[in-house]
Amino acid sequence: MDHLQQHRVQGSAQALRTPSGAAGGVGTVRSWSTEAEFLLPGGRRKVRPDGVWQAPEIGVPVLMVEVDRSTMSPERVAAKFTAYRELFRTKVRDSDPALADREPADRTVHWWRRTWPGPHSRAGYPPVALVVTGAGPVALANRQDAVADLAGDAWGGSWWTITRHDNDGDGWREYDDAVPVIATTLELLAEHGPLGPVWWRYGRPGRHSLLDALESPDTRQAYDERQAAREKKARQDHREWMRTLACADCGNVPKEESTWEYGPDGKEQWTRRPDGRCWDCHQKEHQRREEKRKAEAQARLETARAANAQLRPCWTCRGSIGGKAGSRLELKEKAGPDRLECPRCVSDREEKELGLLVLPAPTRRELLAARVSAPADQWWEDRVLHAKLYPARGRRV
Ligand SMILES: [Zn+2]
Ligand SMILES: [Zn+2]
């Protein structure tokens, strides 16, 4: 580290420790070390933060600080976060006697947890702060963006979702194997102090205060809250929809849109409709209509029966042209003018194959008398017509 770099690192340390101005200063930082050096597994590569900041009293047991002076390529800066993840993945044997009878694989602990006992209240590995400096504001903003893109794998966590019909593919991120990265410029840090709203948490928009920035975005908890809100909304929508299905007669609001009910035709599905009825009211309505229909049919029958009783009788049996009252074949309407027999006699004629009913032709005497005065015979017109339609030859009389 040359003299200038040394100076700048000291500057960032100063910015973290005692910010100019009172805004958000942390006066009780327990430890700020710049000499730390950690060996990666394999023993050849090292992770050498520019500073290790420990402030457990404000809920930050450890924060690594990387100061980027715009001298390295963004790729190399991004690679540091991958190296941090490798470091934080390292597990060591746990000498806790309480674990003595566990399997050896269960007797390990993350090295960083043992090194900085915490309490660690946030998911994921210890956070790393990227402090950029050494260029203009636009270049520094671009640099923070570029490093975020390149190091996405180290800080992004893994996306999870639950396949279900009501979450629109929504999900959350798990950070078990992620390094939370917060970024800022040395200038912002110097101006507002480490607790000021200077930190961009990778994965979250905006600038936040330190403690806010350390809270992970897209957590399971946030997903659960969104999902609960979606389910609540769905229940409300369902209740509102159900209210539109209130029974038109009794006002009952259904719990379900469709039910299976026992009706006259066995089990049937009953689906409620807006302005429709509940099953019971539907049954009552159905019965009411059925009774009305029957009453109307009975009234029509009685009217027809009375009308038919006034007409000329059946030619063959001399009973009512409408048939015997209450019989199965009884006419339900007034008999037409061409009808000569009651339904029973028509049916018998068909069964016994008696052929067409042809009335006796008028005699010469009757024809003469008809010229003088209208005949009293109720069938007279039909007899004249039949005589015309069915000439004498072949008539069976
Ligand atoms: Zn009802
Ligand atoms: Zn008859």
- 349 CA from centroid of ligand 2 (Å): 10
Distance 279 CA to ligand 1 centre (A): 7
Q: State the distance from the centre of ligand 2 to the C-alpha of 340, rounded, in angstroms.
A: 9
Is there a domain that residue 65 lies in? yes
pLDDT digits (tens, 9 = 90+) for 26-37: 444 456 777 778
Which of 173, 9, 179 is CA-nearest to residue 83?
179
β-strands 128-132, 60-68 pairing: parallel
In angstroms, what is the span from residue 297 Cα to ligand 1's centroid?
A: 28
User: Does 22 score more than 50 pLDDT?
Assistant: no
Among the three residues 225, 249, 268, which one is the final residue of a domain in this structure? 225
Domain end call among 196, 225, 254? 225
What is the 342 CA–ligand 2 centroid distance (Å)?
4
Q: How far is the CA of 295 from the centre of ligand 1 (A)?
A: 24
Going from the Cα of 315 to the center of ligand 2, the distance in angstroms, rounded, reads 6
Is residue 212's pLDDT more than 90? yes
Please check the confidence at residue 117 and state whether its pLDDT lies above 60: yes
Residue 31: strand pairing partners: 54
Distant-in-sequence, close-in-space partners of 39: CB < 8 Å, separation ≥ 6: 45, 46
Amino acid 91: pLDDT: 87
The continuous run of DSSP H or E covering 282 comes out as helix 279-310
Note the pLDDT of residue 99.
67
The answer to whether position 219 is within a domain reads yes
Residue 310 lies in a domain: no
Quote the ligand 2 centre to 312 CA distance (angstroms).
11
pLDDT for 5 equals: 35
Mean pLDDT of the chain: 87
Distances (CA, A) of 183 to 23, 38, 62, 113, 155: 19, 22, 16, 23, 12
Instruction: Give 249 Cα–ligand 1 centroid separation in angstroms.
Output: 5
Residue that the structure tokens 């007034």 belong to: 334
CA distance 43 to 37: 12
Number of structural domains the chain divides into: 2
| Number of helical H runs and strand E runs in the chain | 12, 14
- CA of 313, nearest ligand number: 2
131 assigned to some structural domain = yes
Q: Report which bound ligand comes closest to the CA of 247.
A: 1
Q: ∠256-258-262 over CA atoms, to 5°?
A: 115
In a domain, 212, yes or no: yes
pLDDT value, residue 396: 53
pLDDT in tens, 345-388: 999 999 999 888 999 999 999 999 999 998 889 999 999 999 98
Spacing, Cα 254 to ligand 1 middle (Å): 10
Q: What contacts 313, CB < 8 A, 6 or more positions away?
A: 319, 320, 321, 342
Residue 248: nearest ligand to its CA?
1
**219 within 8 A of 173, measured Cβ to Cβ:** yes
CA dist list (Å): 10 to 1, 3, 34, 256, 257:
12, 10, 9, 69, 71
Query: Which ligand has its closest atom nearest to the C-alpha of 253?
Result: 1
Distance 319 CA to ligand 2 centre (A): 6
Between the CA of residue 39 and those of 45, 68, 92, 163, what are the distances in Å? 6, 21, 13, 42
Question: In angstroms, what is the span from residue 374 Cα to ligand 2's centroid?
Answer: 26
What spacing in Å lies between the alpha carbon of 247 and ligand 1's midpoint? Answer: 5
Q: Is the pLDDT of residue 204 over 90?
A: yes
Residue 57 CB partners (closer than 8 Å, separation 6+): 28, 30
Place of tokens 């999902």: 227
Better pLDDT: 44 or 266: 266
Q: What's residue 45's pLDDT?
A: 79
**What are the pLDDT digits (tens) for 303-353?**
999 999 999 999 999 999 999 999 999 999 999 998 999 999 999 999 999
Q: Is the pLDDT of residue 4 over 80?
A: no
> Rounded to the nearest whole angstrom, what is the distance from the C-alpha of residue 169 to the centroid of ligand 1?
40
How far apart are the CA of 172 and the centre of ligand 2, in A? 88
pLDDT band of residue 397 (cuts 50, 70, 90) is very low
Q: Let me know if residue 288 belongs to a domain.
A: no
Return the ligand number nearest the Cα of 329. Answer: 2
pLDDT of amino acid 23:
34
Percent of the chain past pLDDT 70, that is, above it, reads 89
Report pLDDT for 186.
Answer: 94
| The pLDDT value given to residue 161 | 93
Same domain, 219 and 362: no
> Residue 47 sits in which domain range?
3-225
Tens digits of residue pLDDT in 167-192: 889 999 999 999 999 999 999 999 99
Separation of alpha carbons 15 and 25, rounded Å: 9
3-state secondary structure of 6: helix
Starting from the CA of residue 312, give the closest ligand. Answer: 2
d(CA 15, CA 17): 6
Res 252 pLDDT > 70: yes
Confidence check: pLDDT of 49 > 60: yes
* Domain's final residue, options 188, 205, 225: 225
- pLDDT of res. 150: 97
Q: pLDDT digit string (tens) for 259-297? A: 999 987 889 999 999 999 999 999 999 999 999 999 999
Give residue 341 CA to ligand 2 midpoint distance, Å: 5
Identify the nearest ligand to the CA of 250 by its number.
1
Which residues does 230 contact at the CB level (< 8 Å), separation at least 6? Answer: 166, 167, 168, 170
Angle, alpha carbons 141-6-194 (nearest 5°)? 50
Report the DSSP pairing between strands 38-39 and 266-271.
Answer: unpaired
Q: What is the pLDDT of residue 351?
A: 94
pLDDT score at 38 = 84
Q: Minimum-distance ligand to the CA of 343?
A: 2
Ligand 2 centroid from CA 328, angstroms: 14
- Is 350 within a domain? no
Q: What is the pLDDT of residue 316?
A: 94
CA of residue 389 to ligand 2 center, whole Å: 23
pLDDT over 70 (residue 392): no
Residue 324 within a domain? no
**Tokens matching residue 375:** 């005949």
- For residue 242, how far is its CA from the centre of ligand 1 (angstroms)? 14
**pLDDT > 90: what percent of the chain?**
65
pLDDT at res. 18? 42
